[in-house]
Amino acid sequence: MKYLIKFRLGKSVFERAIDPRFYLEDLRELGNTEVEIIKEKIPEPEEEPTDEHVFHADVILETDRPKEEILELLEFILEDGVEVEELEGGEQSKEQEETREEEKKQGASEVPESLLENYKLETEEILSRLSSSLEELAQAPGSLELINEVFRSFHTLKGNTGLILSYGEEPNLKAIFEITHKAESVLQKARDGGIGLSSRQVEILQELVDRLDDLFLAFSEGREEDVEDVYELLEELGQSSEKSKDMGKGEGLPSDLSALLNVASQYIPLFRELCSKGEISEEEADFFRRALITLYKLTKELGFDQLNEKIKNLQNAFGNIDFKEFCEHLEELANDLQKLVESKREKKEEKKEDKKSFDTAKYISKSNYLRVEENLVKELMDIVGELSVFKEWMYLFVDKLQKTYSVPEASKELKDNIHRFRSLMEGLQRTVLEMRMIPLSTLFERFPKLVRDLSRVLNKKVKLNIEGGETKLDKVIVERIAEPMIHLIRNSIDHGIETLEEREKLGKPPEGSITIKAYQEGGSVVIEVADDGRGIDVDKVKKKAIEKGLHTQEELENMSEEEIVQLIFHPGFSTKDQATELSGRGVGMDVVASTLREFGGEVFVETKKMAGTTVKMVLPLTLAIRKILLVRIGDVIFGVPAESVGEVFKITRDKVKTLKGLRVVYHRDRVLELEFLSEKLGINSTANGSITLLIDNELTQGIVVDEVISTIDAVVKPIPDVIPTSDDISGVTILGDGSIVYVLEVLK
Amino acid sequence: MKKALAVDDSATMRNLVKMALEPEGFSVDTAENGQQALELARRNTYNIVISDINMPVMNGLEFLREFRNFNRTTPVLMLTTETEAAKKEQAKKLGATGWIVKPFRPEDLVKVVKRVVR
């Protein structure tokens, strides 16, 4: 097929950051194109688009793709002056369209796991938020703010549900979608029309949310929930909105039943009091008249015809008959009203009772969480840890069966089936680890108060932004990073963010900002604490580094600024000239760094003069089980945490060169300085021909061992403080055969 | 690395955008409302911004208006629903590059993003 596509684009596309030339590229991908540029004047990136800016071109496209696809491609600029004309060969497209449609229909496929997980979590959150907002709304059905809040919850739930449904039909989700759709439109009307909701509508919404709970539970459990009753509710919800709208047009009277009940219960005692006087003043007579008018209107709107008739008669009688006689009739009305008030109250209470018992049921069925004592989880964790050690033993045993006990058949059989045991173990391990994960928000939610307090004490204005509180991390780690994080925030406010006057001089907004951001990156969780303060003074860091004897002037000159700022994490480093009351003396970033290192975390800093500092903490997801490389040096076996190793490779000894007294190898076009662990630890190496290098993640340093034996999952236990050890040893782990191995932190 | 900013009050949607764009080589920042998004957009340069319309604190259209005050070159895609047709027009006037109608799948988003970012 051949198409002529005319571009007659002007200012309107350039104002929307559209580069029409992209479309020519896209069209080229669809088939053969002939492009004729008629007029092209595209604004420069910083230039304001004007009417002079145009893009006129004709493109002839020869393609086997359907017209729809071309139109879809051009969707964003179709109304801005693009025309697509079919030049020839339009017939065959029908068939293609059909197959295309079919393809679309077949779109049902598995929902990505993480998406579904996210959906479930957020839905639980939305539903619980909805039921508490509706509770509030029941107290104030007219509050537009609350209505908007409720609207948004339904809106979000609808959008999310629609997304999951787009992967395939599911009856419960379909019902959720319909309910949220209806609720959303009723709430939108109530919000935009400024009329609020009736208490009945709020009641219905509450019932609907309960049903949404049921539906969601049914969805999670994979069964189908009966939703017959929902449709009645939905219908009523829509109707009451019409009704309340009409009544809203009345004389500004509160218009529902609860209003009548309210008014009546106020009037009745007053009526009785005035009647008991026998005689009334002009003002009191006025009150009677107004009260009757109000009651008349309310009963009429609610369709209480009998009451309405009575009131009408009373209105006519007032002033025309004896006051005492009027009072007798009035008493009759008062009795009727009182009965009405009482009966409705009872009903309401009954409903409440009903609700209460229903709530309990809901609580029982909905409780997806189980509170467990932390110790139990820890115990389970330890058992799983031991089990995984046992798993390693099993592998050793397979070998032993074959080599030592010479039972190759048994060895083979065990070996063939051991993988099942392994995958079960891994599943168990993962589940237990997940049990220990808690969202970082549990820690982050303490910070707003901290920031407020600190900014008050330090007389600064600081705004705190928190992102990614939903990121989960091992509870133990969350607890242990609390102090370092508080320290970082304190540092930012105290040293980073300038005083109000300084900021004004610099033309910065008076309010400083701190952003805490958490996210998962591979097997780690990253937490960033960023401020928009003055940044770290690199010259000062240099001066301090020389003063403290960490580096010589010369060394520093060979380092990048980035490397130099990292020195603040060196023990005993502090940059501010005077330690202030809050930061304390001698406590610096090094405490942060050492705390993190204790459990395998790392910390980096990035700073821009006058623009701010970002501290990035990289934390392991969990403490408990780590991947350990088992390495051999001489006849001793050590462990090295796998996460600190970027690369492992074998080389022959003659590849090691000497450069300025250092032993190095050339690797990936870089010179890599080597450290021989055998020398460091005083063990005789037995590797003659070839040695094995472990290289760190940044590919800057390498350590030499004799060989790498294997990788294991192991529980690394810290060494008690009372045993003096080298800094290089971070803990011990027990192997399957019961032997104890030191875990070395040599690549940090 | 290309950078994207995803603005939505729904965590599911934010995650969806991440899921879609990260494999395409984007690093994705997220914001829960227009205000957070503005702050991020003032400090960072993004190759694309993807924003929901209905959000608390500052909605997507308000965000778009503010954003276009200081940035005319970054494409902005709005996430709309079927019922928000009028808003689509409004968004175009305010400088939205394009839109994608919810619900959409990761691959749909990638397709649209590729149309406006190089």
HEC assignment per residue over A190-223: HHHCCCCCCHHHHHHHHHHHHHHHHHHHHHHHCC
Q: What is the pLDDT of residue A310?
A: 85
Q: What is the pLDDT of residue A705?
A: 92
Residue A241 has pLDDT above 70, yes or no: no
Residue A522 has pLDDT above 50, yes or no: yes
Among candidate residues A470, A453, A387, the one with its CA nearest the CA of residue A426: A387
Cβ <8 Å between B12 and A73:
no
Q: What is the pLDDT of residue A718?
A: 65
Q: What is the pLDDT of residue A355?
A: 43
State the residue for tokens 């259209």: B61
Question: Are the beta carbons of A708 and A619 closer than 8 angstroms?
Answer: no
Q: What is the pLDDT of residue A748?
A: 65
What's the pLDDT band for A95 if we cut at 50, 70, 90? low
Rounded to whole angstroms, how far apart are CA atoms B103 and B79?
9
State the residue for tokens 């009745």: A268
A548 residue type, one letter: K
Give SS3 for A660: coil
A376 close to B (CB below 8 A): no
Q: How far is B104 from chain A (nearest CA, A)?
A: 6
Give SS3 for B43: helix
Question: Are the beta carbons of A159 and A196 closer than 8 angstroms?
Answer: no
pLDDT tens digits, A252-302: 333 456 667 767 777 777 787 778 777 777 777 877 887 888 788 778 777
> Final residue of a domain: which of A620, A636, A652?
A620
Chain B: which residues have CB within 8 Å of chain A? 9-13, 15-16, 19, 30-32, 36, 39, 43, 54-56, 68, 72-76, 81, 83, 92, 95-99, 102-106, 115-116, 118
- Token pair listed for A306: 């009998």
What is the percent of chain A where pLDDT is above 70?
85
**A171/A202 same-domain check:** yes
**A242/A121 same-domain check:** yes
CATH code where residue A690 lies: 2.40.50.180
Residue A88 has pLDDT above 80, yes or no: no
Rounded to whole angstroms, how far apart are CA atoms A340 and A260?
10
What's the pLDDT band for A352 if we cut at 50, 70, 90? very low
**A648/A615 same-domain check:** no
Residues of B in contact with A515 (CB under 8 A): 39
Q: What is the pLDDT of residue B29?
A: 92
Strands A524-531 and A512-521: antiparallel
pLDDT tens digits, A398-422: 888 888 888 888 888 888 888 788 8
- Token pair listed for A600: 């395998």
Nearest residue of A to residue B103 by CA position? A163
Residue A362 has pLDDT above 50, yes or no: no
pLDDT tens digits, A163-205: 888 888 888 999 999 999 999 888 888 887 767 788 888 888 9
Cβ <8 Å between A467 and B76:
no
Helix/strand/coil (H, E, C) string of A65-103? CCHHHHHHHCHHHHHHCEEEEEEECCCCHHHHHHHHHHH
Q: What is the pLDDT of residue A579?
A: 43
A68 close to B (CB below 8 A): no
Nearest residue of B to residue A45 by CA position? B73
pLDDT tens digits, A546-596: 888 888 888 888 888 888 888 888 776 764 444 443 443 334 687 788 778
| DSSP label of A578 | S
Q: Quick one: A659 exposed, middle or buried, by C-beta within 10 A (0-12, 13-18, 19+)? A: exposed
Q: What is the pLDDT of residue A346?
A: 59
Mean of pLDDT values over A470-483: 86
**A477/A579 same-domain check:** yes
Q: How many domains does chain A have?
A: 6
**A421/A457 same-domain check:** no
Which domains does chain B carry?
Answer: 2-116 (3.40.50.2300)
State which residues form the domain around A53. Answer: 2-104
**A423/A351 same-domain check:** no
Lowest mean pLDDT among A171-185, A238-252, B7-21: A238-252
State the residue for tokens 């629609």: A162
What's the pLDDT band for A245 if we cut at 50, 70, 90? very low
Please state the separation of Cα A516 from the chain's center in Å: 13
**A198/A320 same-domain check:** no
Mean of pLDDT values over A84-111: 60
- Token pair listed for A552: 């010589």
Residue A733 has pLDDT above 60, yes or no: yes
| Contact pairs from chain A to chain B, CB under 8 Å | 103
- Reduced to 3 DSSP states, what percent helix, strand and coil does chain A have, rounded to the nearest 5? 55, 20, 25
Among candidate residues B88, B78, B60, B71, the one with its CA nearest the CA of residue B17: B78
**A595/A453 same-domain check:** yes
**Residues with Cβ < 8 Å from A181, sequence gap 6 or more?**
A158
State the residue for tokens 């005035």: A274
Residues of A in contact with B12 (CB under 8 A): 115, 118-119, 122, 160, 163
Rounded to whole angstroms, how far apart are CA atoms A500 and B10?
36
Q: How far is A185 from chain B (nearest CA, A)?
A: 10
Residue A624 has pLDDT above 70, yes or no: no
> Final residue of a domain: which of A414, A434, A454?
A434
Residue A105 has pLDDT above 60, yes or no: no
Interface of A with B in 417-436 (CB under 8 A): none
What is the percent of chain A where pLDDT is above 90?
10
Residues listed for chain B: 118
Q: What is the pLDDT of residue B74?
A: 93
Mean of pLDDT values over A613-636: 84
**A239/A295 same-domain check:** no
Residues of A in contact with B100 (CB under 8 A): none
Q: What is the pLDDT of residue B78?
A: 94
> Final residue of a domain: which of A309, A335, A366?
A366
pLDDT tens digits, A671-691: 888 888 888 888 888 887 888
Nearest residue of A to residue B116 by CA position? A18
Interface confidence, given as ipTM, is: 0.89
Residue A141 has pLDDT above 80, yes or no: no
Residue A219 has pLDDT above 80, yes or no: yes
Q: How far is CA A115 from CA A105, A122, A215, A398, B98, in A?
A: 21, 10, 19, 41, 24
**A446/A561 same-domain check:** yes
Q: Quick one: A746 exposed, middle or buried, by C-beta within 10 A (0-12, 13-18, 19+)? A: buried
Rounded to whole angstroms, how far apart are CA atoms A120 and A118?
5
Residues of A in contact with B99 (CB under 8 A): 76
**A740/A632 same-domain check:** yes
More confident residue, A98 or A407: A407
Q: What is the pLDDT of residue B31?
A: 93
Mean of pLDDT values over A625-651: 85
pLDDT tens digits, B51-88: 999 888 899 999 999 999 999 889 999 998 867 777 88
Question: Are the beta carbons of A626 and A716 closer than 8 angstroms?
Answer: yes
- Token pair listed for A434: 């997940």
Q: How far is CA A480 from CA A342, A601, A644, in A?
A: 59, 11, 21
Mean of pLDDT values over A428-443: 84
Q: What is the pLDDT of residue A103?
A: 47
A320 close to B (CB below 8 A): no
Q: What is the pLDDT of residue A574?
A: 61
Strand extents, DSSP E, A114-258: none
**A216/A79 same-domain check:** no
Residue A248 has pLDDT above 50, yes or no: no
Q: What is the pLDDT of residue A108?
A: 61
Listed in sequence order, the DSSP H helices in A436-537 are 441-444, 447-458, 475-491, 500-506
